[in-house]
């Protein structure tokens, strides 16, 4: 019988790539979608005939428990989260409830129903924050510096408590930045790929960007969701950092993107101090050796391939005159 995988955050970038992967593997894939996110289901049009979705308010423990009781999932991937870090300063409490609250409600439902479900918690390199050593492993000290990172850390510890106290098969993937043509445009990779494409096509002539010296460990979302699945197939539940192990600057990103379309970025890009974030740390880089050793996981797509795919896909969208609302591409 086909395994059932339940995904929260299915309408996001990772939800799409993970659904595709699990469907290819023969899973029955079910998304729990909050009623106020129902409109986002159009982003999954390509997969809609193969997916099941339930409208469930993730802020309600009883609704989650009821859905899980009906579905009896073999695996849960808890991806739901507001993911744009600066927004977490505007609504720290809402961020905490959506991230930590949802994780806690799902873990508690698993425990109370006595399910043998395997649970994946989407964690983030933001839990390392002001890092004390680089590259990071799952054993590196956690020192988040924003409400998003703090909420992700709380969710991580809640998952650990359920694993250690109740014996749940639960684990965290501590993921570094992962991108694709489905990344919403407020994130820097998509902002840059869209701008390079639009400038190439003569649709605009400038790109305002924040700190060009900011550094990130950027990988491909399709590679990172493969690691999520592998974590739940392992013999024992363990936490992993998932990243490429390579740092690039925003300057590298811009130069690579504009180079793809034969443009000199320095003619078009200006730095806007209003877009520079305070208190950022630029040594967030993964040591993915444990994932390679235990899970056989390695990133397949290089930084250059990723950026070029994003720019070329955006050119196609813009040439086709397709509207590119957040997250739809
Ligand atoms: O693309 P970003 O906005 O992503 P950020 O903040 O690193 O967060 C992403 O990755 C985290 C770790 O995996 C996730 F937890 C989180 O949910 C999200 O997926 O910014 C990347 C870097 C930052 O250093 C930022 O300051 O790019 C720098 N940057 C420079 N100029 C800019 C800009 N970022 C944005 N969004 N816009 C700019 O103009």
- CATH number for the domain harbouring residue 130: 3.40.50.720
Residue 327 lies in a domain: no
CA 120, CA 58: separation in Å to the nearest integer? 16
160 lies in the same domain as 206: no
Q: Is 224 in the pocket of ligand 1 (CB under 6 A)?
A: no
Does 148 qualify as catalytic in the annotation?
yes
Helix or strand run (H / E) with residue 6: strand 4-8
Is 158 found in the same domain as 197?
A: no
> Residue 16: CB partners within 8 Å, gap ≥ 6?
10, 43, 44, 47, 182
> DSSP for 181-237?
TTS-TTSHHHHHHHHHHHHHTTS---EEES-TT-EE--EEHHHHHHHHHHHHHSSS-
Q: Which atom of ligand 1 is nearest to the CA of 209?
A: 39
Q: Note whether 97 and 227 are same-domain residues.
A: yes
Verify that 59 and 8 share a domain, yes or no.
yes
Taking CA atoms, 37 is separated from 4, 40, 80, 82, 254, in Å, by 22, 5, 11, 12, 32
Residue 72 included in any domain:
yes
Phi, psi of 118 (to 5 degrees): -90, 135
Number of domains in the chain: 2
The answer to the question of residue 65 being in a domain is yes
Counting from 1 in the atom list of ligand 1, the atom nearest the Cα of 152 is 15
Confidence at residue 326, expressed as pLDDT on a 0 to 100 scale: 40
Question: For position 272, what pLDDT does the model report?
Answer: 95
Does residue 226 share a domain with residue 137? yes
Q: Which residue has the tokens 């579905």?
A: 71
Q: Determine the pLDDT at residue 300.
A: 98
User: In angstroms, what is the span from residue 13 Cα to ligand 1's centroid?
Assistant: 15
Q: Classify residue 207: in a domain, yes or no.
A: yes
pLDDT value of position 325: 41
DSSP character for 286?
A: B
Distance 39 CA to ligand 1 centre (A): 25
Residue appearing with tokens 């507001």 = 82
Are the CB atoms for 243 and 285 separated by under 8 Å? yes
Domain limits at 268? 184-217+247-283+301-319
**Degrees to nearest 5, angle at CA 164 with 163 and 168:** 30
3-state DSSP of 108-143: HHHHHHCCCCEEEEEEEHHHCCCCCCCCECCCCCCC
Q: How far is CA 208 from CA 131, 205, 313, in A?
A: 28, 10, 21
Mutating to test ligand 1, I would choose from 83, 151, 177, 218 the residue with most ligand atoms within 8 A of its C-beta, which is 177
Q: Are residues 65 and 130 in the same domain?
A: yes
Do 166 and 77 sit in the same domain of this protein? yes
Count the alpha carbons within 13 Å of 84 in the hemisphere toward its beta carbon: 14
Residues 136 and 203 placed together within one structural domain of the fold: no
- The atom of ligand 1 lying closest to the CA of 210 is 31
Q: Say if 292 falls within a structural domain.
A: no
Q: What is the reported pLDDT for 322?
A: 72
Looking at the structure, do residues 141 and 278 belong to the same domain, yes or no?
no
- The domain that contains 267 carries what CATH number? 3.90.25.10
> Which atom from ligand 1 is nearest to the alpha carbon of 176?
13
Q: Are 174 and 123 spatial neighbours (Cβ–Cβ below 8 Å)?
A: yes
Q: Per the residue annotation, which of 124, 125, 172, 180 is the catalytic one? A: 124
Tokens of 68: 């899980």
* Catalytic residue list contains 17: no
Q: How do 248-249 and 215-216 pair as beta strands?
A: antiparallel
Tens-of-pLDDT digits for all 329 residues of the chain?
A: 899 999 999 999 999 999 999 999 999 999 999 999 999 999 899 998 999 999 999 999 999 999 999 999 999 999 999 999 999 999 999 999 999 999 999 999 999 999 999 999 999 999 999 998 999 999 999 999 999 999 999 999 999 999 999 999 999 999 999 999 999 999 999 999 999 999 999 999 999 999 999 999 999 999 999 999 999 999 999 999 999 999 999 999 999 999 999 999 999 999 999 999 987 888 999 999 999 999 999 999 999 999 999 999 999 999 998 754 444 33
Examine residue 293 and state whether it is found in any structural domain, yes or no: no
Residue among 216, 257, 270 to mutate when testing ligand 1 (max atoms within 8 A of CB): 216
| Pair (161, 83) in one structural domain | yes
Look at residue 329 and tell me if it is in a domain.
no
Active site residue 83: no
In a domain, 289, yes or no: no
Cis ω before 135 (30° cut-off from 0): yes
* CA of residue 241 to ligand 1 center, whole Å: 18
Domain shared by 121 and 154, yes or no: yes
Angle at 243 between CA 306 and CA 324, to 5 degrees: 40
In this structure, how many other beta carbons lie within 10 angstroms of the beta carbon of residue 57?
Answer: 14
Domain co-membership, 55 together with 120: yes
């Amino acid at each position: 019988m086909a395994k059932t995988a339940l995904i929260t955050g299915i309408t996001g970038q990772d939800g799409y790539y993970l659904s595709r992967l699990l469907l290819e593997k023969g899973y029955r894939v079910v998304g729990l979608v909050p009623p106020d996110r129902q409109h986002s289901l159009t982003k999954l049009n390509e997969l809609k005939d193969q997916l099941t979705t339930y409208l469930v308010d993730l802020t309600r423990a009883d609704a989650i428990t009821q859905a899980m009781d009906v579905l009896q999932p073999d695996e849960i991937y808890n991806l739901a989260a507001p993911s744009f870090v600066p927004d977490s300063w505007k609504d720290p409490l809402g961020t905490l409830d959506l991230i930590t609250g949802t994780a806690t409600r799902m873990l508690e439902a698993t425990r109370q129903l006595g399910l043998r479900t395997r649970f994946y918690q989407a964690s983030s390199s933001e839990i390392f924050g002001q890092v004390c050593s680089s590259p990071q492993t799952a054993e590196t000290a956690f020192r988040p510096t924003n409400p998003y990172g703090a909420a992700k850390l709380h969710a991580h510890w809640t998952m650990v408590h359920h694993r250690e106290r109740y014996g749940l098969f639960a684990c965290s993937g501590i993921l570094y930045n992962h991108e694709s043509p489905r990344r919403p445009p407020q994130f820097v990779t998509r902002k840059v790929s869209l701008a390079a494409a639009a400038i190439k096509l003569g649709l605009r002539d400038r790109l305002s960007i924040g700190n060009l010296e900011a550094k990130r460990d950027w990988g491909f979302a399709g590679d990172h969701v493969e690691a999520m699945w592998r974590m739940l197939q392992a013999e024992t539940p363990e936490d992993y950092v998932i990243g490429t192990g390579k740092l690039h600057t925003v300057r590298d990103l811009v130069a690579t993107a504009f180079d793809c379309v034969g443009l000199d970025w320095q003619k078009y890009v200006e730095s806007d101090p209003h877009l520079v974030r305070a208190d950022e740390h630029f040594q967030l880089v993964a040591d993915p050796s444990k994932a390679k050793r235990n899970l056989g996981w390695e990133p397949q797509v290089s930084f250059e391939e990723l950026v070029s795919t994003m720019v070329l896909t955006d050119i196609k969208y813009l040439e086709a005159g397709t509207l590119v609302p957040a997250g739809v591409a």
